[in-house]
Amino acid sequence: MYSATHEGDMSSPSTSAQPCRRFSLEEIQSATNNFDDKLVIGEGGFGKVYKGRITIEETSHFVAIKRCDYRSDQGASEFRAEIEMLSKLRHCHLVSLYGFCDVEKEMILVYEYMPNGTLHDHLHKAATHLTWVQRLKIAIGAARGLDYLHTGFGTHQGVIHRDVKSSNILLDENWEALISDFGLSKIGPTNQSLSFIDASVKGTFGYLDLEYFYTGKLTRKSDVYSYGVVLFELLSGRLPVDKKYGEEDCSLVRWVQKCVKERKVDQMVDSNMSGIFPKCVKQFVQIAHPCLSSVPKERPNMTEVVASLQALLKLHEQLEASAVSPTGLTSKMHKYFGLSPKLNSPKLNSGIDRLFVFCVCLLFLFVPDI
């Protein structure tokens, strides 16, 4: 298994890595109540994830403990890759690895605990729904994390994540997005093109860059494509592949391409989402759609995506501020009629409707306490 440079921490001699502690199996068993199923907070092909509490340098921490399934063909290699990657990288939008345990057949990773779980669960399973601003900020956070990986800031090496998806975007107590799961990642110098010919294509169906799938050429733009799928998942609330929409529309990417071609971008908006302006929908699609280009060179890089999404957030804030006039007339109108200045607001179609609203406006102006 993976060996540490000395007892208690692990680092690579080629980097100034942060210490990564090696935990004993007894510590892990104590933290998980001997892998009690009641503490399971996640489960997949890799194994189970437990919520636990562990002491590090005399301080108690809530942690997420991933117990990898040793029977997995890729288990050992992905386990080593995860330790190597997260020991080198530190960023506020990447999940932190506290340590690992590799006793006998056990492959266990100990991460900081994310109390709000995965983006996937909030989009597809949770009873409460994320607002537009929450989704936009999550998109920005994830983009910043990927930009850090791709540009190699502070590490002199770039990283291709290779499995960007909503279930690998975790949310902390402030709903900030952190990218997780680096078992499939590839690392290389940033002064090169950072591309690989990958004989064994890896990733998740529905998020996988088709150009990478067909050619085996892995680049940063492969991550950009997968991230583009996440953006439309955020906007629509739809799964990347969902058979309930029928054969023609089961693919989120194909459905998006059709909506863009037919200029029906308003139909992409999740009906459970509140607080989005039509102008923001249009601009969001203009940012996200190029990420899905079949030609990798036509996709933006993550630095450009971050800048564009930040500008979109600023636009939303400006529209939000201008939605209420200094007199408060607009907000009173919305409250009185039950209208919203945002997407899908009822329209006043007849002359009688407009005359009625005009009269009510005069009432609001001259009778301020109405």
Average pLDDT over residues 326-337: 51
Label residue 155 by pLDDT band (50, 70, 90): low
- Do the bridges between strand 59-68 and strand 107-112 make them parallel or antiparallel, or are there none, so unpaired? antiparallel
Which pLDDT score is estimated for 237? 96
CA distance 249 to 232: 14
Q: Which residues of 80-94 are buried (b: 16+ CB within 10 A; e: fewer)?
A: bbbbbbbbbbebebb
Domains of the chain (ranges plus CATH)? Answer: 21-112 (3.30.200.20), 119-322 (1.10.510.10), 329-366 (no CATH)
CA distance 217 to 363: 66
CA distance 260 to 268: 9
Which pLDDT score is estimated for 333? 53
Label residue 189 by pLDDT band (50, 70, 90): low
Q: What is the mean pLDDT of the chain?
A: 83
With pLDDT > 90 as the criterion, what percentage of the chain qualifies?
A: 55
Which pLDDT score is estimated for 352? 63
Global confidence as pTM: 0.81
Non-local CB neighbours of 280 within 8 Å, separated by 6+ positions: 132, 312, 315, 316, 319
The pLDDT tens digits for 193-217 are 566 676 578 889 999 999 999 988 8
Average pLDDT over residues 271-277: 92
**Residue 369 region by backbone torsions, left for phi larger than 0, else alpha for psi between -120 and 50, else beta:** alpha
Which pLDDT score is estimated for 161? 92
CA distance 370 to 316: 29
Higher pLDDT, 325 or 275: 275
Identify whether the C-beta of residue 79 lies closer than 8 Å to the C-beta of residue 68: yes
Label residue 127 by pLDDT band (50, 70, 90): confident
Average pLDDT over residues 327-342: 51
Which pLDDT score is estimated for 144? 97
Which pLDDT score is estimated for 89? 82
Average pLDDT over residues 177-183: 92
3-state secondary structure the chain: CCCCCECCEECCCCCCCCCEEECCHHHHHHHCCCCCHHHEEEEECCEEEEEEEEEECCEEEEEEEEEECCCCCCHHHHHHHHHHHHHHCCCCCECCEEEEECCCCCEEEEEECCCCCEHHHHHHCCCCCCCHHHHHHHHHHHHHHHHHHHHCCCCCEEEECCCCCHHHEEECCCCCEEECCCCCCEEEECCCCCCEECCCCCCCCCCCCHHHHHHCEECHHHHHHHHHHHHHHHHHCCCCECHHHHHHHCEHHHHHHHHHHCCCHHHHCCCCCCCCCHHHHHHHHHHHHHHHCCCHHHCCCHHHHHHHHHHHHHHHHHHHHHCCCCCCHHHHHHHHHCCCCCCCCCCCCCHHHHHHHHHHHHHHHHCCCC
Identify whether the C-beta of residue 11 lies closer than 8 Å to the C-beta of residue 17: yes
The pLDDT tens digits for 6-36 are 333 333 333 344 568 899 999 999 999 999 9
Higher pLDDT, 70 or 353: 70
Which pLDDT score is estimated for 190? 62
CA distance 352 to 50: 62
Lowest mean pLDDT among 19-33, 108-122, 347-361: 347-361
The pLDDT tens digits for 67-85 are 987 766 557 878 888 888 8
The β-bridge partners of 20 are: 10
Identify whether the C-beta of residue 85 lies closer than 8 Å to the C-beta of residue 187: yes
Active-site positions? 163
Which pLDDT score is estimated for 362? 57
Higher pLDDT, 358 or 162: 162
Which pLDDT score is estimated for 19? 63
Answer whether residue 361 shows pLDDT above 90: no
Classify burial at 248, counting beta carbons within 10 Å of its beta carbon; exposed 0-12, middle 13-18, buried 19 or more: exposed
Which pLDDT score is estimated for 334? 56
